[in-house]
Amino acid sequence: MILVGIDVAKNKHDCLIINSNGEVLANSFTIPNSMDGFLNLYSKICSYSINDPEIKIGLEATGHYSNNIAEFFLNKNFPIFIMNPLHTNLYRKSQSFRKTKTDKLDTLTICSILQTQKLTPYASVSYHSQELKSLTRYRFRLVDECSKLKVSFSRLMTIIFPELEPIVKNLQVNSVYHLMKECPSAEAVVKCHLTHLTNLLIKNSKGHYRKEMAITIRNAAKTSIGTCTPMKSLELVQTIERILLLRNQISLIEAKIEEIMKQIDSPMTTIPGISTQTAAVIYAEIGDFSKFSSAEKILAFAGMEPSVYQSGEYNSTHGRMVKRGSKYLRHMLFLAAENVSHWDPSFANYLARKRSEGKHYNVAISHVVRKLLRTIYAMESKHQAYQP
């Protein structure tokens, strides 16, 4: 058997080729992260596999840096083994007390793991899963950025026009954004013609706010304690423009996600409280449910299993959540468990029972997550709709 260890980096990859007996066939060498580099490594592997056609190629999961080289060798029908960097790090430390880490040593560590441990080959994800993962993670980043801008907007409004929030109840609405974008200070609101102010509110609130609201806002602006400088007005306008842009981008992404989810036809969305967007994140992060032999394996993949510590007569009963794995899946499962507990009586009763046992709310929700995952796993495995 030919074992190939690849230490992935941004601009270059360090490689080592050994056989199943541990004999070095090609000392550690470096290839550029380019097609020429990939073809160079491919030719070397082929030259050593003439008499031994069985090949294993191992590399660490280093985010997007490992995608291209992994896909290249998958297209060549070579078995690829993607390793958790934590796994290789702990394995390397277990082999020596010396505090040494180099790229060459990492390639040897990867080869040793391939040689001594039973690993599951990496399978290229389906087109839908790959597209969903890109879209849902991109949406997550945009929503996070938009949330931070909304906090900035609220801060600026407290300085510029603090009397507006008690009147409209919610600052984060379309009508307020467009009002403050056109009139970025209390003084500008006062100067705005009442007819124009009324039309502005009617248009952007879809008729919810009318002339009475325009008069109320303008009267509040006349006695406002807000202070505004040209720089604060500029910051306010640009913050609003960025929020509106992000909201538009998020809507476009959500439309694409909806389109893909219709093609997938996942039964997950039949569970009360799980929206298409929530189901999309869960499906994208898990991918092929058949890769997992049980729902508990998915729980471990999400990093939501409790840690275990036992030594001698001591046995910890308060293991904290591991929190290793997909943070996107972990976050969405927690939110899904909360929503489902609100809408579905059986899950609501289960949460209430765990709370009555004296468990903290987050601990009780983690139990709901386990129940929800078992339900989703059974539904996806049998492709059946939810039955309370």
- Number of other CB atoms surrounding residue 245 within 10 Å: 13
Alpha helices by DSSP H, the chain: 35-48, 67-75, 85-95, 103-116, 127-160, 164-168, 174-182, 186-191, 194-204, 211-222, 230-264, 276-286, 295-301, 327-343, 345-356, 361-382
* pLDDT at 4 (0 to 100): 92
* pLDDT at 388 (0 to 100): 82
* pLDDT at 302 (0 to 100): 82
* pLDDT at 49 (0 to 100): 80
User: What are the angstrom distances between the C-alpha of 192 and each of 42, 129, 175, 189?
Assistant: 70, 51, 15, 5
* pLDDT at 255 (0 to 100): 95
* pLDDT at 117 (0 to 100): 83
The residues that bridge with 17 in the sheet, in sequence order, are: 4, 26
Helix axis angle for 103-116 and 85-95, nearest 10°, is 90
Q: Which two tokens stand for residue 294?
A: 């049980």
Query: From first to last of its 388 residues, what are the pLDDT tens digits of the chain?
Result: 889 999 998 899 999 998 888 888 888 899 999 999 999 999 999 888 877 778 899 998 877 888 889 889 988 888 888 888 877 887 787 777 667 778 788 888 899 888 888 887 776 655 567 889 899 999 999 999 999 999 999 999 999 999 999 999 999 999 999 999 999 999 999 999 999 999 999 999 999 999 999 999 999 999 999 998 999 999 999 999 999 999 999 999 999 999 999 988 889 999 999 999 999 999 998 888 888 888 888 888 787 766 555 556 555 555 565 566 778 888 999 999 999 999 999 999 999 999 999 999 988 999 999 999 999 999 998 889 998 8
If you compute the radius of gyration of the chain from its CA atoms, what whole number of angstroms results? 28
The residues that bridge with 29 in the sheet, in sequence order, are: 15
* pLDDT at 303 (0 to 100): 79
Q: Which two tokens stand for residue 374?
A: 């078992």
Whole-prediction pTM: 0.78
User: What are the angstrom distances between the C-alpha of 269 and each of 24, 248, 365, 379?
Assistant: 52, 24, 20, 11
* pLDDT at 312 (0 to 100): 60
* pLDDT at 177 (0 to 100): 96
Contact criterion met (CB below 8 Å) for 9 and 103: yes
* pLDDT at 192 (0 to 100): 94
* pLDDT at 299 (0 to 100): 86
CA atoms within 13 A on the CB side of 49: 17
Instruction: State the residue for tokens 């997938």.
Output: 264
Q: Which residues of 291-303 are buried (b: 16+ CB within 10 A; e: fewer)?
A: ebeebeebbebbe
